Amino acid sequence: MAGTIPRELEQDPVPFVKWAGGKRSIVGELRARLPEQFNDYWEPFVGGGALFFALHKQLRRAHLSDSNAELMTAYSVVQRRREELIERLREHAGRHCKDYYYTVRAQQESADEVAVAARLIYLNRTCYNGLYRVNSRGEFNVPFGKYKNPAIADKANVMACSRALEGVELRACEFSEIKPRRGDFVYCDPPYHPLNSSSFTTYTRGNFTEEDQVRLAGFAARTRNRRVCVMLSNSNTAFIRELYSERGFKLDVVLAPRLVNSRAAGRGAVEELIIRGY
Ligand SMILES: C[S@@+](CC[C@H](N)C(=O)[O-])C[C@H]1O[C@@H](n2cnc3c(N)ncnc32)[C@H](O)[C@@H]1O
């Protein structure tokens, strides 16, 4: 039974999807810059949720959201229907091969949320570079990944993530729809402003444009002015530095390894910004 692992024997959760821009490599840098105290935790671009899963034990109440509706369905299924999800992932694992991958990839949207979550996790674990990308019609279009032993049905981690998500508010929405209150903490990890035109910045239908970056900076400043602690990540470009320094935010440059990139030449450490309004 999936529910029988005693809590004290459980492993610490790590993101159940590998996401472009995942923050696992700089969690230490982010942690070192948290506000000393805060009430609720908000993450409106949650993606793989690396910072949330690293911090979950010290959070009072958390609110996670993302504009990617399938991803938020997966969070909700991990939270509420973990045993059915593990069963479904085991079925995928048992049938996994190149042809099966393309059959699952071609499947249309399903009304069954457990099927939606299992498909997303299965494709994420087995696709090329483990990177989520949809085409202009919103279809997942990444080729097969040729991994020897992909961890498709990672029961211990699904269980640990499910526990971490107990009591957490989950929502599929645009970042500007969240309503943090005074004393809360918001961490924003938006699609990054591109360093060059080949940078990977497409996560959902429609790009996150410079206009969206300006909208986010305005939202961050208004939120900070309501005495909410706001921290953001972004790439270290002149455009982003100006957006936030002119609004009075503090900027720190940190080095982050870049793992998700289709060209090997684009891998390696890059500078990025941690931006704070406190
Ligand atoms: C850089 S990723 C987040 C990475 C994440 N912090 C992690 O550790 O894996 C950016 C996320 O923003 C989401 N997103 C893009 N546009 C958005 C919008 N307008 N509002 C909310 N989320 C958005 C994408 O679906 C994607 O999951």
Give me the mean pLDDT over the 154-176 stretch: 97
Give me the mean pLDDT over the 128-142 stretch: 79
pLDDT for residue 2: 47
Give CA torsion, residues 253, 12, 48, 179, to 10 deg: -80
The confidence band for 49, taking pLDDT boundaries of 50, 70 and 90, is very high
Cα distances (angstroms) measured from residue 32 to each of 21, 55, 258, 264, 272: 19, 12, 20, 31, 16
Q: Which atom of ligand 1 is nearest to the CA of 23?
A: 8
pLDDT for residue 6: 65
pLDDT for residue 195: 80
Indicate whether 82 pLDDT > 60: yes
Indicate whether 257 pLDDT > 80: no
Which of 16, 52, 64, 67, when mutated, tests ligand 1's pocket best, judged by the most ligand atoms within 8 Å of its CB?
A: 67
Q: What's the pTM? A: 0.91
pLDDT for residue 138: 72
Give me the mean pLDDT over the 212-224 stretch: 97
pLDDT for residue 199: 56
- Residue among 108, 149, 107, 109 at smallest CA distance from 126: 149
**Other Cβ atoms within 10 Å of 182 Cβ, number:** 9
pLDDT-above-90 percentage for the chain: 71
Residue with CA at minimum distance from ligand 1 atom 24:
203
- Residue among 113, 52, 104 at smallest CA distance from 85: 113
Question: Who's near 65: CB < 8 A, 6+ residues apart?
Answer: 42, 43, 44, 46, 72, 170, 171, 172, 173, 175, 177, 178
221/233 Cα distance (integer angstroms): 14
The confidence band for 265, taking pLDDT boundaries of 50, 70 and 90, is very low
Indicate whether 27 pLDDT > 80: yes
Indicate whether 205 pLDDT > 80: no
- Least confident interval from 139-143, 151-155, 169-173, 233-237: 139-143
Pocket flag, ligand 1, residue 234 (CB < 6 Å): no
- Least confident interval from 6-15, 65-74, 93-102, 225-234: 6-15
Q: Which atom of ligand 1 is nearest to the CA of 17?
A: 9
The confidence band for 172, taking pLDDT boundaries of 50, 70 and 90, is very high
Residue with CA at minimum distance from ligand 1 atom 11:
45
What's the burial of 65, exposed, middle or buried (CB within 10 Å: 0-12/13-18/19+)? buried
How far, in Å, from the CA of 68 to the mean position of ligand 1? 8
Average pLDDT along the chain: 89
Indicate whether 7 pLDDT > 80: no
pLDDT for residue 264: 47
pLDDT for residue 23: 82
In this predicted model, which residue has the larger pLDDT, 214 or 147?
214
Pocket flag, ligand 1, residue 230 (CB < 6 Å): no
The confidence band for 262, taking pLDDT boundaries of 50, 70 and 90, is very low
The confidence band for 141, taking pLDDT boundaries of 50, 70 and 90, is confident
Most trustworthy range by pLDDT among 106-115, 131-140, 167-176, 248-257: 167-176
Which of 63, 66, 171, when mutated, tests ligand 1's pocket best, judged by the most ligand atoms within 8 Å of its CB?
A: 66
Pocket flag, ligand 1, residue 130 (CB < 6 Å): no
Segment holding 6, helix H or strand E: none
